[in-house]
Amino acid sequence: MKIGVVTFPGTLDDRDAARAVRFAGGEAVELWHDDAELKGVDAVILPGGFSYGDYLRCGAISRFSPIMEPLIAAAQGGMPLLGICNGFQVLAEAHLIPGALTRNQHLHFLCTDQPIRIENNNTAWTKSFSKDQEIVIPLKNGEGSYQCDDETLKMLEGEGRIIARYVGENPNGSRNLIAGITNERGNIVGLMPHPEHAIDSLTGPSADGLGFFTSVLTSLVSGGVK
């Protein structure tokens, strides 16, 4: 199974995401923001970082990169797509998922070992987890506060599209403690914390993050997403 990892200028966690894919047993394929096609990959990860230096708004420029055109089309056709941190911001800017990520309420960059609860284990990226499983993975960002209007929040809650919530104190002011959400179909996931930094307890706070990557490989083997 080939999982593409996109590098934009300013992307930082691309090699970490590729390592996580390999740890999970997949083949990582480098995708460059200027590429016009997806090199036959089965799923794509938009990794964390500061693409285009967060100029204008986080993700606002990357969203117009050449690779986004085939990527958006493929994701709308059901291909699994995971946006982590800055990748989540790109997904929001591309309107693949609702809402926006804003400056942390306390106005600081925050890097912490964050407990989260997996509330929807039916997406392409969360199948390996059990429902309500609590895991600890790094959270590290300056603009990770998830915001949306009341109607959207009601819809996300009603449709079970909040895939993960922060446990304990709200680390950044996100509405309803939202750490990650999915689209209607469950193939696109935006996640603020970083599972790719928690694939091995030697270098991360746990190996809990690996589940996101094994999930997508399992989803692909079992014949794609619903």
Partner 1 sequence: MSLDTVAKAVANPDTPQPFAELGLKSDEYASIKEILGRRPTSSELAMYSVMWSEHCSYKSSKVHLKQFGDKAVKTDALLVGIGENAGVVDVGQGYAVTFKIESHNHPSYIEPYQGAATGVGGIVRDILTMGARPIAVMDPLRFGPADAPDTRRVLPGVIAGVGGYGNCLGLPNIGGEVVFDETYLGNPLVNALCIGVMKHSDIKLAKAAGAGNLVVLYGAKTGGDGIGGVSVLASETFESKGPAKRPAVQVGDPFVEKVLIECSLEIFAEDLVVGIQDLGGAGLSCATSELASGGSGGMKVQLEKVPLRDPSLSPEEILMSESQERMCAIVEPSKIDRFLEICKKWDVTSTVIGEVTDGTHLEITFNGELIVDVPPRTVAHDGPVYKRPLAQPAYIDLVAKEIINPPLPKTAQEIRETMLKVAATPNLADKSWVTDQYDRYVQGNTIQSQPDDSGMVRIDEVTHLGVAVATDANANWSYLNPYEGAKLALAEAARNIATAGAKPLAVTNCLNFGSPEDPGVMWQFAETVRGLADGCLEMGLPVTGGNVSFYNQTGSIAILPTPVIGVLGVIDDVRTRTPMSFKDAGLELYLLGETDDNLSGSEWAYIHGLRGGIAPIADLQREMRLIELLVAGNKSALFTAAHDLSQGGLAITLIEMVLRHRVGANVNLANPGIDLLSETPGRVVVAVESSKASELQALAAKHDIALAKLGTTGGDALVINDSSISLAELHTAHTETFKKLFG
Residue matched to tokens 């399992």:
218
Residue burial 184-219, b: 16+ Cβ < 10 Å; e: rest: eebbbbbbbbbbbbbbeeeebbbbbbbbbbbbbbbb
Interface residue with partner 1, options 3, 4, 6, 19 (CB under 8 A) = 19
Distance CA 57, CA 62 (A): 10
How far apart are CB 176 and partner 1 at their closest, in Å?
Answer: 23
Task: Tell me the site size for partner 1, rule CB under 8 A.
Answer: 29
Touching partner 1, residues 157-176 (CB under 8 A): none
Touching partner 1, residues 28-47 (CB under 8 A): 34
Touching partner 1, residues 38-97 (CB under 8 A): 49-50, 52-55
Residue 202 touching partner 1 (CB under 8 A): yes
Distance from the first to the final alpha carbon of the chain: 18
Q: Which residues are catalytic?
A: 85, 194, 196
Residue 207 touching partner 1 (CB under 8 A): no
User: Coil, strand, or helix at residue 67?
Assistant: coil
The answer to whether the beta carbons of residues 13 and 193 sit under 8 Å apart is no
Distance CA 99, CA 64 (A): 18
Instruction: Give the residue with the Cβ less far from partner 1, 10 or 70.
Output: 10
Instruction: Give the residue with the Cβ less far from partner 1, 15 or 175.
Output: 15
How far apart are CB 192 and partner 1 at their closest, in Å?
Answer: 14
Touching partner 1, residues 105-124 (CB under 8 A): 108-112
The answer to whether the beta carbons of residues 35 and 44 sit under 8 Å apart is no
Task: Summarize as ranges the residues that interact with partner 1 (CB under 8 A).
Answer: 9-10, 12-13, 15-16, 19, 34, 49-50, 52-55, 108-112, 138, 140, 142, 194, 196-197, 199, 202-204
